[in-house]
Amino acid sequence: MRILNCYMANDSKGHFVTAKEAAKHNRQDVLCCVSCGCPLTLQRGNDGQPPWFEHDQMTVAEKILLRCTWLDPAEKEARRLHLQGMTVPDYTVKVRKWFCVMCDENYEGEKCCPSCGTGVYSREGGRRATGRIGTERFSRGNQLQSCNDISGSAALVGASRDREILALCPE
């Protein structure tokens, strides 16, 4: 993994230290990366090149180094392309069944109600909403029950035998 040279670090007290300052004062303090917090080693520079810090890659987990701002942009791009290739493409599901709230009608195909000629009032799913909240009678299996007949403030209202909906009844 290639990490670019950095020229700024944090000392053990949390103060910023440049590579030039660290080389000039001959610091023996532990210096850490400002971005990822990894330990850094000071390179004194040669042939007129200024001093710099290098990451100690052996003491830190790879996932921490991958988040560092000093990671080589070419490495970041290669990793991004690798991860992008692993993603599952999105598949769109086309809705075929609709219910027009205004006309109270189910229809299939394009989102355009045959009765009113618009799709503005259409919901996907093609099923009518069943059951009303209030004191009307609700069907539960083959029995009819009223909210007023049931003790308590909640009544189980069944749209079918398989599924029951909890509806709050006024007291």
**pLDDT, block means (10 residues), the chain with 171 residues:** 90 90 81 92 86 90 88 87 75 82 90 91 73 42 43 41 41 41
Tokens of 128: 């009518």
Q: What is the pLDDT of residue 114?
A: 92
Whole-model pTM? 0.46
Check if the beta carbon of residue 60 is closer than 8 Å to that of residue 37.
Answer: no
Check if the beta carbon of residue 43 is closer than 8 Å to that of residue 53.
Answer: yes
CA–CA distance, 41 with 27 (Å, rounded to integer): 11
Contact residues for 136 (Cβ-Cβ < 8 A; gap 6+): 146
Q: What is the pLDDT of residue 163?
A: 38
C-beta atoms surrounding 38 within 10 Å: 19
Q: What is the pLDDT of residue 150?
A: 43
Q: What is the pLDDT of residue 18?
A: 92
Check if the beta carbon of residue 124 is closer than 8 Å to that of residue 109.
Answer: no
Q: What is the pLDDT of residue 87?
A: 66
CA–CA distance, 96 with 108 (Å, rounded to integer): 5
| Secondary structure of residue 32 in the 3-state scheme | strand
